[in-house]
Structure 1
Amino acid sequence: MRFMILIKSDADTEAGAMPSEEMLAAMGRYNEELVKAGVMLAGEGLHPSSRGARVRFSGGETTVVDGPFSEAKELVAGFWLIQVKSKEEAIEWVRRIPADPAVEQEIEIRQVFEAEDFGEEFTPELREAEERLRAEVASQQS
């Protein structure tokens, strides 16, 4: 099972504040644990929403809105993508994330859909096309 771990933004991350050297080192050690355990697929921090944009689709039209966006605690500051055996295992990994005890932080865990989750609507032809795309992406990253 794959899980996306979403690190929520706060006023500091939205202001573009960088983590301390100690926090960067702690995150590096945590990432190393994930890699050595064979569960980490990806993990990155994100620039503040002031450097981003939103694209809204409505009534056949698209609208682009540049950041920043309000409600920092509803925004994402970074993520990990991990592969584990259960939601419980994902929770155990999240409990180990280095956190500053002086800062209130919320981390969201969301399971990623797998091909079998889509049922009969995900026909053999659609499944084959998806597998071809994944193989192409993998070859581009080699």
Structure 2
Amino acid sequence: MSKYMLIMRGTDETNAAMMANLDEMMATTRQFIEDMMKADVLVAAEGLDDPRQGVVVDFGGEAPVVTDGPYGETRELFGGYFLLDVATKQEAVEWARRVPAVRGSKIEVRRVAEADEVPQGGESSGQI
């Protein structure tokens, strides 16, 4: 089994569409979560607060700079995630295809690296 993160990515427009149908989206999402729990694949699921409530710590200069609000342009924002423990990448993709999402949204599927895959003691493979 491997862990995969289904990262919900939306835009200002998709977030507005979701809010317009919030009750329906929440009911559909609750059912989706129940389905994942019954299948014993759900590890965690979280949604994020409005990006305007966050801050960005930018390490682009000599000292970190903290600014309010979302990073860069808000054409695409990370809105939350589902963390699954499944047998294959394809199984993770199949769950991603079932995520209740509005038209224009995207779900990024990423495998979570195991501890033994992280470079140790000065090794640098360029990947985690």
1:85-141 CA deviation, whole Å, 9 max, x = no partner?
A: 1110100111111233xx21111111111012125x26xxxxxxxxxxxxxxxxxxx
Tell me which residue corresponds to 1:45: 47
Matches within 5 A, 1:6-21: 6-12=7-13, 13=15, 17=19, 19-21=21-23
- Opposite residue 84 of structure 2, the aligned amino acid is I
Q: What is the TM-score of this pair, normalised by structure 1? A: 0.72
In structure 2, how many angstroms separate the alpha carbons of the residues matched to 1:32 and 1:63?
41
The residue that corresponds to 2:65 in the other structure is 63
- Which structure features the higher share of helix residues? 1
Q: How do 1:103-114 residues align onto structure 2 when only pairs under 5 Å count?
A: 103-114=103-114
The one-letter amino acid paired with 2:69 is G
Number of positions where the alignment pairs a residue of Structure 1 with one of Structure 2: 119
Q: What corresponds to 2:88 in structure 1? A: 86
User: Which protein is bigger by CA-based radius of gyration?
Assistant: 1
Q: Which has the higher contact order (CA 8 A, sep 6+)?
A: 2
1:107 is aligned with what amino acid?
I
TM-score (norm 2): 0.79
* Residue of structure 2 equivalent to 1:4: 5
**Residue 28 of structure 1, aligned match among 24, 27, 30:** 30
Structure 1, unaligned runs of 5 or more: 123-142
Name the CA distance, whole Å, in 1 between partners of 2:87 and 2:98: 17
- 1:116 is matched with 116
Q: Whole-Å Cα distance in 2 between the matches of residues 113 and 42 of structure 1?
A: 16
- Between the aligned residues of both structures, percent identity stands at 35
